[in-house]
């Protein structure tokens, strides 16, 4: 299990204190509910380092990738409603 954190929060020097906003495991990305991943409803499916909305996503299933995974970062694509290539990035942190 890996966790996705906002990349634009925390303290100087990169020390982050916020909770993860999503979890990634076995080719899916899940929302966090009560501090734990909601494994019953994957919001996104991951194929070839791209994430596509599933039927469980509030906006419904999409044939266009809304996220792209590059190394330890997850970037929005042009198909994401809040796409901002310079600031809308998530960091991938390993689970404990």
Domain that holds residue 84: 1-11+19-29+69-96
The region that residue 27 occupies, defined by phi over 0 for left and psi between -120 and 50 for alpha, beta otherwise, is: left
Spatial separation of the C-alpha atoms in residues 77 and 44, rounded to whole Å: 14
Domain-located, residue 48: no
Query: Using one digit for the tens of pLDDT, what is the confidence trace for 46-74?
Result: 999 999 999 999 999 999 999 999 999 99
Domain-located, residue 53: no
The total of structural domains in the chain comes to 1
Query: Using one digit for the tens of pLDDT, what is the confidence trace for 7-38?
Result: 765 444 555 557 889 999 999 999 999 989 99
Domain-located, residue 39: no
pTM of the model: 0.83
Lookup result for tokens 């994430």:
51
Domain-located, residue 3: yes
């Amino acid at each position: 299990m890996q966790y996705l954190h906002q990349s634009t929060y925390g303290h100087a020097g990169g020390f982050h204190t916020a909770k993860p906003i999503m979890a990634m495991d076995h080719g899916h990305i899940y929302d966090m509910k009560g501090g734990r991943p909601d494994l019953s409803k994957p919001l996104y499916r991951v194929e070839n380092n791209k994430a596509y909305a599933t039927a469980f996503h509030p906006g419904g299933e999409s044939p266009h990738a809304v996220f792209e995974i590059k190394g330890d970062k997850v970037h929005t694509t042009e198909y994401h409603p809040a796409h901002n290539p310079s600031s809308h990035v998530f960091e991938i942190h390993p689970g404990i």
